[in-house]
């Protein structure tokens, strides 16, 4: 190879590197600079929370939340739940402390009435509001120090003691049950299910597919897992009605189907972009101009608690990479164990991909027609007599 050939190869290499660098810079500017100026509104955040609010709800509908008080308490945030927890106990202790003080006041057992020494009070050793509050606390939480106690001289005090004991058990059961149910909710299990930050579009098995990677960070399985998706976008009906958040079903599968997934290692789920897919008429050049949100759901039963949980995430057009595939992350060690490298969980590499699904299927149809061939019914074979006009 002479010097001119080396210089030519060097120019081609520099040109390829420059084009790739400008391509990445252009994508970075579009994502970080122009993307910030027009952030798309999304219904479901990346961590599964729904971005929706309800307005103009009448008072009667709000009262329904108090009828279903158990679900309302479970849905409260932790700071509000702890406020309700503390208020319920302190409020009940103070309320019954006030009632015990009233009983002592009505029966003139307090020191300001100077009761005789041989008189038996309703409650021993209640000398004021503070001692009445302490007796209420000891009664409801069944501490029973023995210094303050109810005597048989007062039926009102006995009835109040029974009523506070029953109400205290109800408050303890409700609040402790709400705390336990809040801790054991399957929503926390869903935090250990993670989706890839981006979705990719590339060929898989000779078909153009949209691929998403999902992983279970725990070794315990999700039983009966089922994965599916919804495409949300604004559509206009033939009658002229505008439907915001119109939903279209998106079927996701793995090589073994989309139900009862063996979710022991990260899976790459994919949606085949065929003629029935809403992505069929999209192309690599027009994908970023689309206005849609792809919401992905994963339902399953927690193996340890048998509770059903749902994991959600969403992808907007800027988070769908056309012409990329995921980097492999599962390998086998020398000891015979399978190792998952989560450092490459969301990494992608660029691959050769048709710029639209229609082009891929048109190319396949053209190849199939070339292989099959077609009969021409108008073709007529006519025999021609060949004569030798050459004179020897």
Residue 69: its pLDDT value, please? 85
Q: pLDDT: is 373 or 320 the higher one?
A: 320
Whether residues 200 and 347 share a domain: the answer is yes
Whether residues 351 and 228 share a domain: the answer is yes
From the list 302, 298, 272, 307, the residue with the least C-alpha distance to 74 is 307
Confirm whether 23 is domain-assigned: no
CA–CA gap between residue 26 and residue 323 (Å, rounded): 16
Confirm whether 179 is domain-assigned: yes
Whether residues 90 and 209 share a domain: the answer is no
Whether residues 121 and 215 share a domain: the answer is no
Q: pLDDT: is 229 or 385 the higher one?
A: 229
Task: Give the CATH number of the domain where residue 210 resides.
Answer: 2.60.40.1400
pLDDT of 373 > 80? The answer is no
pLDDT of 99 > 90? The answer is yes
CB 220 within 8 A of CB 304: yes
The pLDDT tens digits for 10-55 are 676 777 777 777 666 666 655 555 444 345 678 888 888 888 877 7
Last residue of a domain, one of 128, 151, 184: 184
Confirm whether 98 is domain-assigned: yes
Mean pLDDT of 287-305: 88
Whether residues 121 and 203 share a domain: the answer is no
Q: How confident is the model at residue 198 (pLDDT cuts 50, 70, 90)?
A: very high
**H-type alpha helices, the chain:** 3-29, 35-37, 59-67, 69-75, 78-106, 129-140, 155-183, 186-190, 357-372
Backbone dihedral angles phi then psi of residue 69, each to the nearest 5 degrees:
-65, -30
Whether residues 337 and 203 share a domain: the answer is yes
Confirm whether 49 is domain-assigned: no
Task: Give the CATH number of the domain where residue 118 resides.
Answer: 1.10.287.70
Whether residues 134 and 210 share a domain: the answer is no
Mean pLDDT of 128-136: 93
Whether residues 128 and 172 share a domain: the answer is yes
Counting runs of H as helices and runs of E as strands, what totals does the chain give?
9, 13
Domain count, the chain: 2
Residue 367: its pLDDT value, please? 60
Confirm whether 270 is domain-assigned: yes
Residue 258: its pLDDT value, please? 59
Confirm whether 115 is domain-assigned: yes
The pLDDT tens digits for 346-360 are 899 999 888 888 777
CB 314 within 8 A of CB 50: no
Whether residues 230 and 275 share a domain: the answer is yes
Q: pTM value?
A: 0.68
Whether residues 289 and 340 share a domain: the answer is yes
CB 189 within 8 A of CB 221: no
Residue 6: its pLDDT value, please? 65
Give the domain extent around 103.
63-184
Exposed/middle/buried for residue 360 (C-beta within 10 Å: 0-12, 13-18, 19+): middle
Whether residues 292 and 231 share a domain: the answer is yes
Whether residues 176 and 195 share a domain: the answer is no
Mean pLDDT of 184-204: 86
């Amino acid at each position: 190879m002479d010097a001119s050939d080396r210089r030519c190869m060097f120019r081609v290499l520099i040109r390829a590197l420059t084009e790739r660098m400008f391509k990445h810079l252009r994508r970075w500017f579009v994502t970080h600079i122009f993307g910030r100026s027009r952030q798309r509104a999304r219904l479901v955040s990346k961590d599964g929370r729904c971005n929706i609010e309800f307005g103009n709800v009448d008072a009667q509908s709000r009262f329904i939340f108090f009828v279903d008080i158990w679900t309302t308490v479970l849905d409260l945030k932790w700071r509000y739940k702890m406020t309700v927890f503390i208020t319920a106990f302190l409020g009940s202790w103070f309320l019954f402390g006030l009632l015990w003080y009233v009983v002592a006041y009505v029966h003139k057992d307090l020191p300001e009435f100077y009761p005789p020494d041989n008189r038996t009070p309703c409650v021993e050793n209640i000398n004021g509001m503070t001692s009445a509050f302490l007796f209420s606390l000891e009664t409801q939480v069944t501490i029973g120090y023995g210094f303050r106690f109810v005597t048989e001289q007062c039926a009102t005090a006995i009835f109040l003691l029974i009523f506070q004991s029953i109400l205290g058990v109800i408050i303890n059961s409700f609040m402790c049950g709400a705390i336990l149910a809040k801790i054991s909710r399957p929503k926390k299990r869903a935090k250990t299910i993670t989706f890839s930050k981006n979705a990719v579009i590339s060929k898989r098995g000779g078909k153009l597919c949209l691929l998403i990677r999902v992983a279970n960070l725990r070794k315990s399985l999700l039983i009966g897992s089922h994965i599916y998706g919804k495409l949300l976008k604004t559509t206009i009906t033939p009658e002229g009605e505008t439907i915001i958040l119109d939903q279209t079903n998106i079927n996701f599968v793995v090589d073994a189907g989309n139900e009862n997934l063996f979710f022991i290692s990260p899976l790459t789920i994919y949606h085949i972009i065929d003629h029935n897919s809403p992505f069929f008429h999209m192309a690599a050049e027009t994908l970023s101009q689309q206005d849609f949100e792809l919401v992905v759901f994963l339902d399953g039963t927690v193996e340890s608690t048998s509770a059903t949980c749902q994991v959600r995430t969403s992808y907007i057009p800027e988070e769908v990479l056309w012409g990329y595939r995921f980097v492999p992350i599962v390998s086998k060690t020398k000891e015979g164990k399978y190792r998952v490298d989560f450092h490459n969980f969301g990494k992608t590499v660029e691959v050769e991909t048709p710029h639209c699904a229609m082009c891929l299927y048109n190319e396949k149809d053209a190849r199939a027609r070339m292989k099959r061939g077609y009969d021409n019914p108008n073709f007529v074979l006519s025999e021609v007599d060949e004569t030798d006009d050459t004179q020897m």
